[in-house]
Structure 1
Amino acid sequence: MVETLNNTLSAISSVVWGPFVLIPLLLGTGVYLTIRLGGIQFRTLGRALRHAFFDTSERDNEAGAGDISNYQALTTALAATVGTGNIVGVATAISVGGPGALFWIWVTGLLGMASKYAEAYLGVRFRVTDEKGNQMGGPQIYLKRGIPGPVGSVLAFLFALFAFFASFGIGNLTQANSVAAGMEDTFGISPVLSGVLMFVGVGAVLLGGIQGIGRITSAFVPLMVVLYVVGGIVVLILLAEDIPAALATIFSDAFTGTAAGGGFLGSTIMLAVRYGVARGIFSNESGMGSAAIAAAAARTSHPARQALVSMTQTFIDTIIVVSITGLVIVTSGVWTQGEESAATMTADGFSAGLPGHWGGTIVSVSLIFFAFSTIIGWSYYGERALTSLVGQWASVPYRMLFTVIVFVGAISEIKLAWTFSDLANGLMALPNLIGLLLLSGLVARETREYLRFDPGLNKPAATVREFVDRQEMQWR
């Protein structure tokens, strides 16, 4: 019965992620928003990174309404996205789609930065205050408030429904299982004990709400990313003579596919595109709308400022972390092992460059932290999706159920959960992408006006508030 259900979900997922539905919509939306926003991800990246990591002007209560700082909103979104997709997901994409899949992951990331900007902008622009006085936003809010009539309401309902289910797939079961597997392989800890430890840890964090999540993620997300990236850079330095050939293979295979041979069954260009785009969005979530939920909680004096900060999350996730994984896998040659070795492929690649057990240990520890942080971030996304559907009363019951499911994921075989996660990701992206296209004019117009007023992102918060009042945005 489980196998039948898995096959059915796989068939549906192959249609959703096929060449006629989500792939052209994702890439097309990214291209369209890149054009409408004047290539904002390229021309403002430096300013956005500076504002995210070095500008403290919006980390106090004078910046505007919000529950956490813009930096904490960024690290919460990073916590939710930097997960197993950055290690196992990339390996799966390359093992099935060939090295060319990494090129399409890059394309998805670069175009996705414009999508991430737009959805974060709308998340802050249309946010509301909930019954407890906290900020609430995301596609489940801006689709309904920004698009008049039944179309917006239906899109908002569908997003919230799919996001709620996705939180137990991409954000819980698959991640908890990865943590338990990593703890067992690296430290010999049984999945049951890992499940208990995660149950306690996740429960303790969720008691603090978004403020607690923000404090935790802002502390350890930078450390876990730096550990993994530095380890990967060391491997690539040691394998430097093989990098030019690896890059040539990546770019050529992106348009020609990989011929069958050796231990690799072969792939076509469509497989490279499909798995590159699918695993790209699994990793950075651009276009899914999830990060807009975290962005809406940020203290910021203007939606554009937080949207630029949120945009850097895709750059860090895909252009930095995913690139490290992909280049190590292709450069070391372990990608030819085939899909059945995807779970250990990244560790094998790191081990090819680092002496002893250092490579495998770095990957295992990183996977544990990446997956646990994703659980924390997605708990907030799922909670906000559910409360938008049924009300604030569901907040505590959801946190309790989510914590229990963490334990279930740690001790279960979850092949079905991975299939379900891919499908849920695609289904929640569909209404959001449609909404981004419909609301792109508002985002482009207000972004142009703001960047003309404050091109350096350095105007004081009080001055920005005066600008907002003059524009009659009716926003705080």
Structure 2
Amino acid sequence: MEFLQSILTFLDGNLGGAVWFPYVLLGVGLFFTIYLKFPQVRYFKHAWKVVTGKYDKKDAAGDTTHFRALATALSGTVGTGNISGVAFAIFLGGPAALFWMWATAFLGMTTKFVEVTLSHKYRVKTEDGTMAGGPMYYMDRRLNMKWLAVAFAIATVISSFGTGNLPQSNGIATSIEATFGIEPWIVGSVLGICLALVILGGIQRIAAVTSKIVPVMAVLYVIGAFAVIFANIENIGPAFAAIVGDIFTGSAATGGFLGATIAYAFNRGVNRGLFSNEAGQGSAPIAHAAAKADEPVSEGMVSILEPFIDTILICTLTGLVILSSGVWQEKHQNVFERTSLKIVEGNYNETLEEDRHDLFKYLNQVSGHGVEHYNGNIEVVAGKAVNQGYTIIHARSIAEDVVFTVGGDDDLYTGNLKVVDGDILKDNIVLSGKSLIHSAALTTKAFTRGYFGDYGQYIVSIGLLLFAFSTAIAWSYYGDRAMTYLLGPRSVMPYRVIYVAGFVWASFSDTELVWLMASVAIVVMTLPNLFGIMMLRKEMKETVDTYWEDFKKEFPNEK
């Protein structure tokens, strides 16, 4: 696992975590925002009218309605990114990361409008009579770049696991275990069976299920979020001040949080924003291709609403809950994940300015920190370390009250542990204690700081279950459309079997490892799509102009 993590960390550092990627993603969104004259603002009201079915035509080609296509696409985006992803972004980059999620969403509204319109325009009817669309079809049919279409379709299959499957299952299992104490493998197995029953029914059943789940889960989650926000209303002003105030300064150390640089907040905020709303990734166009519409732009209008609902509304609520409750800077009792654990040379104290400064540089990958990984032995007696000369870092914080056990049971360890380059060599030793927490665990803890008290955690668990499960459903459809393009309809069933198996496996795998896989998969899918829509920028503008000309002729009294 550590070898796999090192590979994924390298890939993430050179792709999603690379300095250039956020600029490429935001740059394309900014270009189209200016090029198309701010469609996310100008067409926002019209988009709501389209999604309500005001301009629907009964004889239009397609498999489902505008609303159901939006619900399916939203179910693909509204998932662990809204609960775990926001928490992970704040954990890494501090409050400013939420601002960059907003920026990604605002520009992403235009990016999504473009990618959905073009993909819908070049959709096809498959052998089984259903519609199939997505960036691979415009790459193939319009750009005549079969190689790029194949590359994108392969990336979609990979990303269906990295985005829609593994993180969702892991987030559900982690939250339910923390709340109800149910073993992750049991949660994964039960939900795996449910997932199989839904996805075998194809887009009709998927759209029907998601159109019911999405509204219910949104209402439930919003109620729980406001229960925390109103209970901590005095902290909302400072929370917004921190979000905006830290944009150009980075986040200073506070509590157990050791701070984050501007670059780290920017990079992680954009990265998590993309994971949340998927604008530019090319996934949503696959769902929208099934909508009954003869005008591609009309479906593009509907997609404008996705990043707004997903990130600007739901992610903001999550962010305010976490920041106003204060749990993001507090240390909590938890079991340490090996991938988030490092042992460094020396006795560091977070109350000392010099120590905070060095650890800040170390954790934010800034040169000149002077922090060295520990090489030596840790002497443990009855689960407690008795020698000094090192500091245990877990989840970007100094760990406290650390207990060493064998295999994670109550069997307290006694003996010497060899540490090489900051890692404990003995694999069956489990560490637990107090440190910062992140992902679903952080959001779950934050929801207990409201009017519902400890019952608030149940809202997160149920909300995450509905959010993440619906995301897994939607992404199975994206993956099987990609498989249909690559190998034909016969390849869909084997793909679904593997998809369900992966869902079960991820429920009991390492959280941070899963997030790394997701981060890499997203970028592999996004880059070809951004390249493709830039190639068709002139056609996109002409298509929009034609749409409005025809619309004004058909509906002369409409604005």
Both proteins in one fold, TM over 0.5: yes
**Partner Cα distance (2:315, 2:531) in 1:** 27
**Aligned-partner residue type, residue 348 of structure 1:** K
Deviation at 1:406, TM superposition (A): 1.9
**Partner Cα distance (2:533, 2:292) in 1:** 23
Aligned mate of 1:116, from 109, 112, 118: 112
Give the conservation status (yes or no) of the 8 Å contact 1:173–1:414. Answer: no
Aligned mate of 2:521, from 408, 413, 424: 424
Deviation at 1:378, TM superposition (A): 0.4
**Partner Cα distance (2:511, 2:483) in 1:** 23
Give the match for residue 131 of structure 2. Answer: 135
Q: How far does the alpha carbon of each residue in 1:117-171 deviate from its partner, in whole angstroms, 9 at most, with x for none?
A: 00110111010111111111101111122213xxx22321221111111111221
Give the match for residue 242 of structure 1. Answer: 235
Give the match for residue 191 of structure 2. Answer: 198
Deviation at 1:286, TM superposition (A): 0.3
Structure-to-structure mapping, 1:244-393, within 5 angstroms: 244-337=237-330, 340-343=436-439, 344-393=441-490
**Aligned-partner residue type, residue 341 of structure 1:** I
Give the match for residue 55 of structure 1. Answer: 53
Determine which structure has more spread, i.e. the larger CA radius of gyration: 2
Give the conservation status (yes or no) of the 8 Å contact 1:75–1:218. Answer: yes
Give the match for residue 35 of structure 1. Answer: 34
Aligned mate of 2:142, from 143, 146, 157: 146
Secondary structure of 1:147's counterpart equals coil
Structure 1's unaligned 5+ residue stretches are 461-476
**Aligned-partner residue type, residue 246 of structure 1:** A
**Aligned-partner residue type, residue 102 of structure 1:** L
Q: Give yes or no for the alignment of 1:92 onto 2:91.
A: no
Give the match for residue 359 of structure 2. Answer: none
Give the conservation status (yes or no) of the 8 Å contact 2:53–2:66. Answer: no
Deviation at 1:456, TM superposition (A): 11
Secondary structure of 1:357's counterpart equals helix
Deviation at 1:366, TM superposition (A): 0.8
**Aligned-partner residue type, residue 405 of structure 1:** G
| Identity rate, percent | 42
Give the match for residue 223 of structure 1. Answer: 216
**Partner Cα distance (1:226, 1:355) in 2:** 16
Structure 2's unaligned 5+ residue stretches are 331-394, 397-435
The total of aligned residue pairs comes to 453
Give the conservation status (yes or no) of the 8 Å contact 2:227–2:452. Answer: no
Give the match for residue 474 of structure 1. Answer: none
Secondary structure of 1:256's counterpart equals coil
Greater relative contact order: 1 or 2 (C-alpha under 8 angstroms, separation 6 or more)?
1
Give the match for residue 396 of structure 1. Answer: 493
Deviation at 1:20, TM superposition (A): 4.2
**Partner Cα distance (1:97, 1:19) in 2:** 15
**Partner Cα distance (2:243, 2:457) in 1:** 24
Deviation at 1:51, TM superposition (A): 2.2
**Aligned-partner residue type, residue 438 of structure 2:** A
Structure having the higher strand fraction is 2
**Aligned-partner residue type, residue 310 of structure 1:** S
**Partner Cα distance (1:98, 1:455) in 2:** 47
Aligned residues: CA RMSD: 2.0
Give the match for residue 468 of structure 1. Answer: none
| Superposition TM-score, scaled by structure 2 size | 0.78
Deviation at 1:230, TM superposition (A): 2.4
Secondary structure of 2:444's counterpart equals helix
Structure-to-structure mapping, 1:205-220, within 5 angstroms: 205-220=198-213
Instruction: Please say which of residues 369-378 and 239-248 is displaced more in the overlay.
Output: 239-248
Secondary structure of 2:279's counterpart equals coil
Give the conservation status (yes or no) of the 8 Å contact 1:81–1:284. Answer: yes
Deviation at 1:190, TM superposition (A): 2.9
**Partner Cα distance (1:379, 1:92) in 2:** 24
**Partner Cα distance (2:167, 2:111) in 1:** 25
Q: Give yes or no for the alignment of 1:157 onto 2:150.
A: yes
Secondary structure of 1:454's counterpart equals helix
**Aligned-partner residue type, residue 313 of structure 1:** E
Deviation at 1:458, TM superposition (A): 5.9
**Aligned-partner residue type, residue 101 of structure 1:** A
**Aligned-partner residue type, residue 446 of structure 1:** T
Give the match for residue 71 of structure 2. Answer: 75
Q: How far does the alpha carbon of each residue in 1:184-227 deviate from its partner, in whole angstroms, 9 at most, with x for none?
A: 33334333332232122111111210111000001111110111
Cα gap change, 1:188 to 1:335, in 2 (>3 Å): closer
Q: How far does the alpha carbon of each residue in 1:235-288 deviate from its partner, in whole angstroms, 9 at most, with x for none?
A: 222322221221111011111101234311111110111010000000000000
Cα gap change, 1:260 to 1:293, in 2 (>3 Å): same
Instruction: Please say which of residues 239-248 and 286-295 is displaced more in the overlay.
Output: 239-248
Q: How far does the alpha carbon of each residue in 1:78-104 deviate from its partner, in whole angstroms, 9 at most, with x for none?
A: 111111111111111111111001000
Secondary structure of 2:526's counterpart equals helix
Instruction: Please say which of residues 189-198 and 224-233 is displaced more in the overlay.
Output: 189-198
